[in-house]
Chains A and B, each alone.
Chain A
Amino acid sequence: MISKNSFLASLKENSKRRIWLWLLSALSYLVIFPTAVAMAISRGKRSEEYLIESLGEALGRQALQEQLIKGMEQFFGITNPVMWLVIAAFAVVSAIQGFSYLYSKKKIDFYMGMPVKRSRRFCVIWLNGILIYLIPYFTGLLIAGLIAAVNGVMTASVLREAALAYGIYLCFFLGVYHLTILAVMLTGNVIITCFGTAVFFLYEWCVRLIIQSYQALFFKFYSYSGNSAEPLFSPFTILLQYAGKHENGQGSGLSAVVYLLLFAVIVGAVAYICYLKRPAEAAGKAMAFTLPQPIIKILLVVPVTLLAGCLVSDIVGYSPIYGEGKEGFIIFAMAVVLIVSSCLIQILYEFDIKGILHKKHHIFISAVAVVIVFLIFRYDLLGYDSYIPKADSVASAAFVPPYEYRYYGGDNYFSEDMEHISKISYVEENMYLSDVGAVNKLMKLSIDEMNKYDNLSQLFNEENDDSLWYKATVIFRMDNKRNVYRDIYVNVNNPEVAALLDRIEASDEYISGINMGASELLAKILADDESKAVVSYGDNYYQQKLSSQEAEEFLALYIEDVKGIGFTKLRESIPCGSLRFSIVKKYLTHSSYFDTEFPIYPFHTRCVEYLKEHGYYRESFINPEDVERIQVTNYNMNIAAEKQKQWQEQLALDSDVSVVSESAWSNLEYSRYASYDSLDDISELCNALYPQDWLSQSWHMGTSEDTDYSITVYFKSDSQPAKDNMSVGTYCFKAEEVPQFVIDDTVYRE
């Protein structure tokens, strides 16, 4: 028999005080859980007919079963975001409600006057809060599981997912629960507790975001890559990371669970110590402890002020790295926000408007902190922009060139498990350059060259005719497991830079790290029964399909051909075509689509030879026989610029030149166009035309298009492009290769 004064009796008594929370929890888990499962099964079964119709009897039933099991796994598993929110909400409410007696002097007098140990009262309330979550959840799970079992979808995998989720969610619950209890212990009023809880959940994220914003604002080489604002000390982030890994099947995720549990235990211990130290007179006050008040105030005021600076800089267009805007507005706004936020917090601390005038020295201390942080970023006092990791402390590096349309798959990267990923992610995963020295040197060159300019705007100034700047990303994987990311600016017209790029890009590590076509991934996909790949060679308008065998053979040759090809060689060349992959990954109930392509250059000798052997190679991009007419538009931009200059000079000399004259100039049309429909003209033009985006989209292209001209090719209705629904094509001339007769026909004459 349980004695009256036993722990269980206390637990029971405490439960009576929290009966509404028990009811709410029971309602949520005992009703929603089984109902939702029953609804999911019922909804799933409604698609039975469709699946049987589209996949056949056996396959359809199998698909339905798999679909239902997958649905159950997701529902019972840890990747159910609705459950996260419900659990987090329960943890917050349970913590606040359980310890809410600490807000009331009446209740404090009653409870603390009783001969009950503080530790015991804490344990009773703490444990009760957990049981309020755990018991209804487990019972709801059990009933929902039974419903699933009756419907034949409670498999071992679903059971495993449910058990795993039960454990992980308990850790997650404890993390949120303890963090909220800590907020309760530090405050003496429910509104301030809610505010404090929000601060605990959002503070690190906000601070990280502010730091990133300041880095982006003030540091020329700041890279968004590898910089996540996700807090390290948040149960939400830890759960999110675990769920992500679990979903992708990346390990057991045990470390995340241990981390989550450790986080919960540490925060719980701190909350318990605060509970023991919490003075009874804190009830009803804003803050329970006097000592941390100024620290908390300053820790809030400083980021809020910096955030205000960030927002105002965005509004007024302040960007020192581009030499735009002045600091005046920002400093003024920050000063106002600093004073207002400091005064507001003091009012909250004292629950008295008169508090606005108290503790003025906190404003001063906060201001000093803000100035220090601002100056650190403004003048890069920690040397972010000048930092180059020592080569001997770097394990490997990666170099990510700027956006490359048509090259190495553009941005259409995907992983081995057929998930779309970004280029940075692909490179992070696959590129491990051992030649760290080359990347280091490239970065140093970039810094040295950049130091010649006051700001980034000057880089792209027309006066720098002899330079061509691009932004690329470098990643240094340090020996201490830390990754350093920088966005550097490289002048590809600098021979030293080009030599370094040659050194980097010609390495096997680089090619296999950025060129999906040079990896084994595509060969695997071609051999995969569940994936259907359509492989073709050509350009935007002419495509020829390769058989599976041809594709495999061609890919093997391509892998050999791309070896050792550096930056300069690619830059000096124009592709003769591209190899395209359209892949469909089939699942039972749905399909995923992936497209990627790889340029084939004339120096890819094995590939070109193979194409020629199999009749796929094309000598020119357009077959003149397919063309009905070609229309060329010459914008005569040089003449237009000259005319504008003349108008401006006239305007400066003669004040009587009215605004009407200015607008009259701008309305003048300098463009001239010509249309060609004779086979001779078309043939000559076809030899000089290139698919437009092949010349304009890559930094490799030393030979750029002549932007004065725009060429539209109208294909005949029986031509191959027209049959492929491409009856109109957009092409361009290579700079300084415009046929003379076109120049004569389209030049502006007064």
Chain B
Amino acid sequence: MIEIRNVSKTFDDSKAVDNVSVSIKENTVFGLIGTNGAGKSTVLRMVAGVLEQDEGEIAIDGLPVFDNMEAKRKIYFIADEPYFFANSNAVDMQKYLSTVYPEFAVSDYYTYLVNFGLDKKRKINTYSKGMKKQLALICGVCSGTKYLLCDETFDGLDPVMRQGIKSIFAGEMSKRGMTPVIASHNLRELEDICDHVGLLHKGGVLLSKDLEDMKCNIQKVQCVFKSNEDEARVIASLDIMKNEKRGSLNTLTVRGNKAEILAIFATVNTVFFEALPLSLEEIFISETEVVGYDIKKLILG
């Protein structure tokens, strides 16, 4: 587990990370979301042991990470702009990484290269931006580390590649319990990958929750009530987070267990009733509105 406790980091006069505390459980895909400048990269760089925190503690499986080789052997960090040696190709990178990471999966590496259509002999500086990101991900996955830290790595990847990466992650997670931590400023990029999400804003953590928990606890219902009395009774019985009404059609975002909510609706007469799936975006909108933030302004742009 990665434990971040009351961590702060200041660059010159500006506080990039302010008293952040997050726990990242093993064998989950953790999404770190925040606007540009929210402190995502700084948190990841500190977790990777690149930066040293000014205050607080960061522990990788109980080990402090900064300048601690034992802890760092468990981490592979893919920066927002991944670096590859000048004039090198994928083979050169493999050779180097194999000297640094003893568990480096060489055969998997070349299999992935073929699967992703990356030419191992081609110079990396002639790759496209997306190809470089794919290669960086392959390097990270094959390094054999327990934790894979990805900073904006998925931004710009096409859906097919995203699916490919997702299936690799799933495979590695089931095979050796890999824990990817993915930072992004775009919520939609993480929607189909993450199990757990932490929202960073202005250097601090707004929330950190398991996606399933969030999904289970918030329901979206569309319905047309037969009478105003029915409508009033339901609204009074439910913990409504949001109610949009167009004509007679009510779209309700409700906090609570799905079965309980359905039971309440069963007590009244409805002309039309349907329980809708919630997007990560909607969950976030709802959650952050509760704490007084307009998530649309923060993340969705």
Contact = CB atoms under 8 A, between A and B. Distances in A.
Interface of A: 4-5, 9-10, 13, 16-17, 104-110, 112-118, 279-281, 290
B260 to A, nearest CB: 47
Size band of the interface chain B makes with A: 20 to 34
B82 A114 contact: no
Contact of B77 (A5, A13, A109): A109
A118 B50 CA distance: 11
A107 B98 contact: no
A109 to B, nearest CB: 4
Nearest to B76: A113
Contact of B83 (A9, A10, A107): A107
Contacts of A112: 48-50
B79 A5 contact: no
Contacts of A113: 48-50, 72, 75-77, 79, 149
B123 interface: no
B114 interface: no
Given A10-B99, A115-B73, A280 B83 contact: no
B124 to A, nearest CB: 13
A331 B189 CA distance: 64
A105 B86 CA distance: 15
Interface string B92-123: 10011011111000000000000000000000
B67 A109 contact: no
A106 B79 contact: yes
25 contacts: A4-B102, A5-B99, A5-B100, A5-B102, A13-B95, A13-B96, A16-B85, A17-B86, A106-B81, A108-B50, A109-B45, A109-B48, A109-B50, A109-B77, A110-B82, A112-B48, A113-B49, A113-B149, A114-B72, A114-B100, A115-B73, A118-B67, A279-B51, A279-B52, A280-B45
A116 to B, nearest CB: 6
The 10 lowest CB-CB distance pairs between A and B, nearest first, are A113-B77, A109-B79, A110-B83, A115-B72, A106-B83, A115-B73, A112-B50, A113-B48, A9-B99, A4-B99
Interface in B236-288: none
A117 B86 CA distance: 23
B50 A116 contact: no
Nearest to A120: B69
A113 B51 CA distance: 9
A595 B208 CA distance: 94
A732 to B, nearest CB: 78
B17 to A, nearest CB: 12
A431 to B, nearest CB: 61
A115 B69 contact: yes
B83 A109 contact: yes
B79 A110 contact: yes
Contacts of B86: 17
Contacts of B45: 109, 280
Contacts of A281: 11, 51
Nearest to A110: B83
A17 B86 CA distance: 8
Contacts of A9: 99
Contacts of A290: 12
B189 to A, nearest CB: 20
A283 to B, nearest CB: 10
A152 B157 CA distance: 70
Given A106-B79, A106-B81, A106-B83, A117 B67 contact: yes
A287 to B, nearest CB: 11
Nearest to A117: B69
Nearest to B42: A281
A106 B151 CA distance: 12
Contacts of A106: 79, 81-83
Contacts of A13: 95-96, 99
Residue in A107, A108, A109, A112 with the greatest tally of chain B CB atoms within 10 Å:
A109
A430 to B, nearest CB: 61
A117 B67 CA distance: 7
Interface string B135-179: 000000000000001000000000000000000000000000000
Nearest to A106: B83
Contacts of A108: 50
A104 B83 CA distance: 10
Contacts of B92: 16
Contacts of B76: 113
A16 B45 CA distance: 27
Contacts of B11: 281
Contacts of A115: 69, 72-73, 75, 100-101
A279 B42 CA distance: 13
A290 B95 CA distance: 38
B92 to A, nearest CB: 8
A114 to B, nearest CB: 5
A666 to B, nearest CB: 72
Interface in B25-80: 45, 48-52, 67, 69, 72-73, 75-77, 79
B36 to A, nearest CB: 16
A108 B81 CA distance: 11
Nearest to B86: A17
Contacts of A105: 79
Contacts of B52: 279-280
A276 to B, nearest CB: 9
A113 to B, nearest CB: 4
Interface string B6-30: 0000011000000000000000000
Contacts of A114: 72, 100
A9 B99 CA distance: 7
Contacts of B101: 115
A412 B149 CA distance: 78
A105 B81 CA distance: 9
Contacts of A117: 67, 69
Nearest to B68: A115
A109 B149 CA distance: 12
A549 B252 CA distance: 129
Nearest to B9: A281
Contacts of A110: 79, 82-83
Contacts of A279: 51-52
B39 to A, nearest CB: 13
Given A112-B49, A280-B52, 7 more contacts: A5-B99, A9-B99, A16-B85, A108-B50, A113-B77, A115-B73, A279-B51
A115 B83 CA distance: 16
A112 B73 CA distance: 12
A305 B104 CA distance: 58
A707 B100 CA distance: 90
Contacts of B102: 4-5
B98 A4 contact: yes
A104 B79 CA distance: 12
A5 B73 CA distance: 13
Contacts of B81: 106
Given A110-B79, A113-B76, A280 B50 contact: yes
Nearest to A12: B99
Contacts of A10: 99
Nearest to B50: A112
Contacts of B12: 290
B211 to A, nearest CB: 27
B100 A280 contact: no
Nearest to B81: A106
Given A9-B99, A17-B85, A114-B100, A280 B75 contact: no
Contacts of B69: 115-117
B61 to A, nearest CB: 14
A280 B45 CA distance: 10
Nearest to A104: B83
A4 B77 CA distance: 21
A116 B49 contact: no
A348 to B, nearest CB: 15
Nearest to B12: A290
A113 B47 CA distance: 9
A279 B83 CA distance: 19
A17 B84 CA distance: 11
Nearest to A101: B83
B180 to A, nearest CB: 15
